[in-house]
A and B are shown apart, each in its own frame.
Chain A
Amino acid sequence: MNKADFAVVGQPLPKIDAWAKVTGETKYADDLVLPRMAYGKLLRSPHPHARITGIDTARARALPGVYAVITGADLPPVKFGILPVSQDEEGLCTEKVRMVGDAVAAVAAVDEETAERACELIEVGYEPLPALMSIEDSLAHPEVRIHEYGDGPNVHKNVALQFGDVEDAFARAHLVREDVFYFEGNTHLPMEQHAAVAHHGPDGKLTLWSSTQTPHYVHRLLGKILDMPTAHIRVIAAPVGGGFGGKLDPFAHEIAACKLSQVTGRPVKITLTREEVFYVHRGRHPVLMWIKTGFTRDGDITGCHLRTWLDGGAYGSYGVASTFYTGVINPVTYKMPIYKFEGARIFTNKPPCGPKRGHGTPQPRFALECQLDKAAEQLGLDPADLRRRIVAEPFTKTANHLTVTTIGLAECIDKVVEASGWREKRRALRARPRTGTKKTGLGIACSAYLTGAGTAIYWNSMPHSGVIIRADRGGGVAVLCGATDIGQGSDSILAYLPAEVLGIDPRDVRVHPADTDLTPVDLGSYSSRVTLMCGMAVIQAAQRLRTVIFKAVAEKLDVEPSALVARDRKVGVADDWDKALPFARAVELAEAMHGVLAFAGSYAPPKRAGKYKGGGVGPSPCYSYSACVVELTVDEETAEIDLRDVWIAHDVGRALNPLLVEGQVEGSVYMGIGEALMEEQVFRKGLHKAPSMLEYKSPTTLETPNIHTMIVETDDPEGPFGAKEAGQGPLLPVIPAIANAVHAAVGVRIDEVPITPDKILRALDLKRRGKPARIGPDKLPLFTFKDALMVESAFGLPAEAIAVRPFADAETVTEPPASTSPAASRAPASPAPDIGARPT
């Protein structure tokens, strides 16, 4: 569909919640106050690993102003976890603690201070156990077990997949590189501290308001954790003040607030302190990586073998998925005909890691893109040209059986090369002798990311996203959807798209998100799934509404429904627009004809998982692509990095709102810069070394460079009006681009993030002493991966151009209004074959 045919899509509109946010009206979870509300606090473990020998709460209970004190003994004896395969957490620990910060008791009191004081009066007996603080520690001490389950002592997950004969691929290569990289862990650092308010009413029903990205999963798990009917639990996600993956698990404070409310009969609020947020995090896994890749003389990849070791922390969380994600997305970007991946996640006595923006993929992306840079140097190729040459083929399958649709990566590379002056500047830097201590360098990297996980967290055949749309006699439209707006703008997307379909103004749409009593399930704000999945569901619901409206208006105007158009808040025949009816009147006619106008839309991704064990992680309806060039200077004396400009081009399929896409890209770039240059979540004797916003360094306005964002549109047949994701993918190339630019500037390789001045100084010192100028890991753990599952490579096989999707409307395939109405959507459920087959 032509861009000019859209009325709402593609417009740089303000977000529908922008006005509330700039006036301070938005009510986040901690802003909620209910009558008789009590304030809760958690008592957390000071030990990284210890057996609990006893808990005495008597003194705390006796403190005036304390309403209740609970321990794990007050909760049903169940373990839970976000993934069905990792049920290893307790709301309040009963037998042992596995990290500093594990919750062991909770208090509800008249105010926070009283609750805090009561926590201090709780006496917990601990018998310390040896603390395993690194991958090496945990593997070296199988006699100390953090958990009793997993793929070996302290091994949470051990996976190995092979697609084709990788040794043969290396034998055929002109150049084979083996490199080792390390990516330090870091955290989401949302500005909002997690908060939850629970109210167990006298009717026995429980309501939880929480700053969560996944109200549905919290809802599902609370039934199990509290051992009460899920039917009697309502979870409402308050607007989230920053998520980035940090609010995706059910947390102890949510569980404790619920239980304390049950015990006291009062609403109970628990808001975490910033220090607690650092400990509960579930952020970026520290990952050690070994990568071996074969190249032809021209830079084509013959095969790639990747090994990853993830420092998982104390619990499973999303870790099994994270482990797969360190391996499975790599073949989506470039032609990689043969691929082998081995990964292991190791338990340690640190806060568990999980999904942070890019979930498991920034680490191997850093490894691969830095290795490509080294290979290009050895092969005498321009690193931009090398990447452009090996971009994957659209509408094919990867070695590991992922289906890729549109790929705008070549255009992304061209755009950043052009805009940054890549060629001219590099030529000039080579030609001009460098004077002074400040050296300039440019670096490039690319990436791909999924637009929504193709499978849910728990196995089921139901929709991933559902919408109910209801038309009001006044011409307004209500959209009910379980999605959670974490700032990315999902509420706004849920207004723009039905407005486009129905020919009304987005301001006529009221969006009611994330309330498990009222809204159909959306799985949550993770894996860049929301715009695509909610978008598809809301388009389907709006089209169903439009169909009945058109039927009623057609009867009134005595025309065929197929002749009608909806635009400018009217419905009528384009050639006879004077007779067009106001949308509100059209709604009345339709309601008179059909009864209540409420329609549902459902979306589930095409079922395209590879037919092998582990094939469920990685498939996505479509993948976004990004290319990034950075320019920086490094001071050879101080090793200070001055990052000046970042050029980034992102293939978003279609920018439903370019302003929001740019915002997502810029935010991703910013977060990538933080990870590349300063952010690190490190521990000493079980304690976080920097659990405050001052000590945990993150970029301010002063460290954030000029970000030049370019949007590339490929109109993907899988996305709503062609859209793909924008919120995570653009983070990925920034980190290796910076590493590559540092090398271009001063000739040292920092194979480890964050890339801090001390590492550069050490590398420069090595360089001066004539040694290999590289800082990075130099040894690998003693670890045996399991025998690889041998699967034939699917590389280059054609993708089915039109995927079969569950819940898609058959009738929309040939629905005439879609093609005759300028304001109407392309039938998204089943695009015309020419769209699907169009190369980018």
Chain B
Amino acid sequence: MNSAPRPETVKSQLQLTVNGETRDVLVSAHKTLLEVLREDLGLTGTKHGCELGECGTCTVLVDGVPVLSCLALPVELEGAAIATVEGMATDGRLHPLQQAFAELGAAQCGYCTPGILLTAQALLHQEPAPGRERIREALAGNLCRCTGYTKILDAVELAVLRMARPAVVAGGEG
């Protein structure tokens, strides 16, 4: 057996905050956030489509900003708030985006869905009332091969409507 340690066996202990929970992990420095989430933390809701930063499938939020977890390194993310699809529902209630995606058939095979949900969540956090074109732009980095995007755009619009309802009612609109 070769006794010399391989470079990647040098591991760092990190404290990551994922979905509001602080977790200690011991990982090789070159491990991607995608790998650590899926393999060390058991958060398999984050999917991978290319592992080269091309398809958007592995998108998570870091401090509210969409990040491709296949290109992000956990060693740089201590102290940041990492959010995955598993954290979208709160108090047992689905996020309005999740509800709308389910109701409108925006998830077919469902594989790109977590990344798209989180990208949309970040958009709605920044812009509570984006129009369809703005939603299109925001989701342009997330590939979906099933839906033709139509039901995805519909679902984001429905979520926007539902999240804005109090304001809409107060404003006397629609």
Contact = CB atoms under 8 A, between A and B. Distances in A.
Contacts of B2: 63-64
Interface in A654-705: 659-660, 662-663, 666-671, 692-694, 698, 700-702, 704
Q: Does more than half of chain B's interface fall in helix, strand or loop, or is it mixed?
A: loop
Contacts of B49: 191-193, 274, 693
A87 to B, nearest CB: 31
Interface in B98-134: 98-99, 101-105, 107-114, 117
Contacts of A692: 50, 52, 54
Contacts of A179: none
A23 B98 contact: yes
A241 B89 contact: no
A22 interface: yes
Interface residues of B, number: 57
Which of A27, A193, A669 counts the most B-chain CB atoms under 10 A from its CB?
A: A193
Given A15-B105, A22-B94, A667-B108, A190 B117 contact: no
Contact of B109 (A190, A701, A704): A190
Contacts of B139: 700-701
Contacts, number: 173
A667 B113 contact: no
B1 A64 contact: yes
Nearest to A21: B110
Given A23-B89, A667-B108, A698 B143 contact: yes
A18 B108 CA distance: 8
B110 A666 contact: no
A14 B50 contact: no
Contact of B105 (A14, A19, A27, A63): A14
Contact of A241 (B103, B110, B150): B110
Given A662-B105, A667-B108, A667-B147, A24 B84 contact: yes
A706 B149 CA distance: 10
B28 to A, nearest CB: 9
B46 interface: yes
Given A23-B98, A274-B49, A31 B109 contact: no
A660 B105 contact: yes
A12 B50 CA distance: 33
Contacts of B84: 24
Given A24-B44, A191-B57, A192-B49, A242 B109 contact: yes
Nearest to A486: B109
B137 interface: yes
A693 B52 contact: yes
A694 B101 CA distance: 26
A239 interface: yes
A330 interface: no
Interface string B24-59: 000000000000001000011111111110110100
B147 A22 contact: no
A64 B6 CA distance: 11
Given A25-B45, A242-B146, A671-B145, A18 B102 contact: yes
A325 interface: no
Interface string B130-169: 0000011101111111111111110000000000000000
Interface string A1-37: 0000000000010110111111111111011000000
A614 interface: no
A17 B103 contact: no
Contacts of A274: 49-52
Interface string B76-98: 00000000111011000010001
A377 interface: no
Contacts of A46: none
A244 interface: yes
Give the interface residue-count category, chain A: 35 or more
A273 interface: yes
A489 interface: yes
A806 interface: no
B47 A488 contact: no
Which of B45, B108, B109, B114 counts the most A-chain CB atoms under 10 A from its CB?
A: B109
Contacts of B173: none
Given A487-B109, A667-B146, A702 B45 contact: no
A189 B140 CA distance: 17
Nearest to B118: A24
Q: Does more than half of chain A's interface fall in helix, strand or loop, or is it mixed?
A: loop
Given A487-B110, A663-B105, A707 B148 contact: yes
A693 B151 contact: no
A670 B147 contact: yes
Contacts of B52: 274, 692-694
Nearest to A18: B102
A764 interface: no
Nearest to B1: A64
Contacts of A693: 49-50, 52, 54-55, 143
Which of A31, A242, A694, A706 counts the most B-chain CB atoms under 10 A from its CB?
A: A242
A704 B147 CA distance: 11
Nearest to B99: A22
A63 B4 CA distance: 12
B113 to A, nearest CB: 5
Given A22-B98, A23-B85, A23-B88, A241 B149 contact: no
A190 B1 CA distance: 41
Contacts of B94: 19, 22-23
B48 to A, nearest CB: 7
B107 to A, nearest CB: 4
A241 B109 contact: yes
A197 interface: no
A338 B152 CA distance: 45
A28 B141 contact: no
A14 B54 CA distance: 30
17 contacts: A15-B107, A18-B103, A20-B110, A22-B94, A23-B89, A31-B44, A188-B145, A192-B49, A239-B110, A486-B109, A487-B146, A663-B151, A666-B151, A667-B108, A667-B147, A693-B143, A694-B50
Given A24-B43, A24-B84, A701-B153, 12 more contacts: A15-B102, A18-B101, A21-B107, A22-B102, A22-B113, A241-B109, A489-B108, A663-B105, A667-B148, A671-B145, A693-B49, A700-B139
Interface of B: 1-2, 8, 38, 43-52, 54-55, 57, 84-86, 88-89, 94, 98-99, 101-105, 107-114, 117, 135-137, 139-153
